[in-house]
C-alpha cells in the first residue's frame, strides 16, 4: 500500500495559494469580537482570519510545508460552489481588505523538516519567517 504523501504528490494538485484549511487557535488569543458574522468555508473567511491575526500580533504559523491536506472532491462540486449565489457572501460582509495580507506567506512563522543525520531522524521545526512587509491588511477605505 502506498503512503498518503506519496500518493497525493503523484495524483493530485495543490489548491490555490489563497486557501487555508486548518486553524488552531487558543481560545483567548484571537480577537473574535473583531470578526463580522460570516460563513465558514466561503470565500474570504480564511484570508480575513489570517490577516486579522497578523495585524493584531497573534502568532500565525504556516504549516503548509509539513502538512498534507486531502480534499476528496471533484471539479463539478468545486465549480458549483464557485457559481453559487452565496459564493461572495463573506466578501460583501467583510468589505474591502487586501487578500494577499491574509495569505500564509504573511505569517510570522513557518514549519520545515530538518534532517538530523546523527540520529537518522526528521523533525518538524517552527522558525521565524524572514519578512519586513507590513501586514495590516485593511485598506484605508475599509469601514
Residue 6: per-residue pLDDT:
61
8 A C-beta contact, residue 52 and residue 101: no
> What range defines the domain where residue 118 resides?
4-13+32-128
Residue 111 lies in a domain: yes
Residue 22: per-residue pLDDT:
77
26 confidence band (pLDDT: 50, 70, 90): confident
Residue 79 lies in a domain: yes
Residue 38 lies in a domain: yes
CA diameter of the chain: 56
Residue 138: per-residue pLDDT:
44
Residue 92 lies in a domain: yes
9 confidence band (pLDDT: 50, 70, 90): low
**53-95 pLDDT, tens digit each:** 999 999 999 998 898 777 666 666 666 566 677 778 888 899 8
pLDDT at 125 over 90: yes
Contacts of 8 (CB under 8 A, 6+ apart): 68, 70
Total domains, the chain: 1
Contacts of 95 (CB under 8 A, 6+ apart): 142, 143
8 confidence band (pLDDT: 50, 70, 90): low
Amino acid at each position: 500500500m502506498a503512503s498518503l504523501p506519496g500518493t497525493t504528490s503523484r495524483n493530485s494538485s495543490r489548491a490555490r495559494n489563497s486557501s487555508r484549511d486548518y486553524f488552531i487557535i487558543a481560545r483567548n488569543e484571537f480577537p473574535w469580537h473583531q470578526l463580522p458574522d460570516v460563513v465558514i468555508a466561503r470565500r474570504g473567511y480564511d484570508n480575513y482570519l489570517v490577516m486579522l491575526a497578523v495585524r493584531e500580533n497573534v502568532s500565525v504559523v504556516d504549516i503548509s510545508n509539513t502538512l498534507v491536506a486531502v480534499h476528496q472532491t471533484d471539479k463539478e462540486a468545486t465549480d458549483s460552489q464557485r457559481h453559487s449565489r452565496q459564493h461572495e457572501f463573506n466578501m460583501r460582509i467583510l468589505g474591502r481588505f487586501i487578500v494577499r495580507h491574509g495569505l500564509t506567506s504573511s505569517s510570522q512563522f513557518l514549519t520545515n523538516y530538518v534532517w538530523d543525520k546523527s540520529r537518522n531522524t526528521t523533525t518538524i521545526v517552527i522558525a521565524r519567517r524572514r519578512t519586513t512587509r507590513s501586514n495590516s491588511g485593511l485598506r484605508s477605505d475599509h469601514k
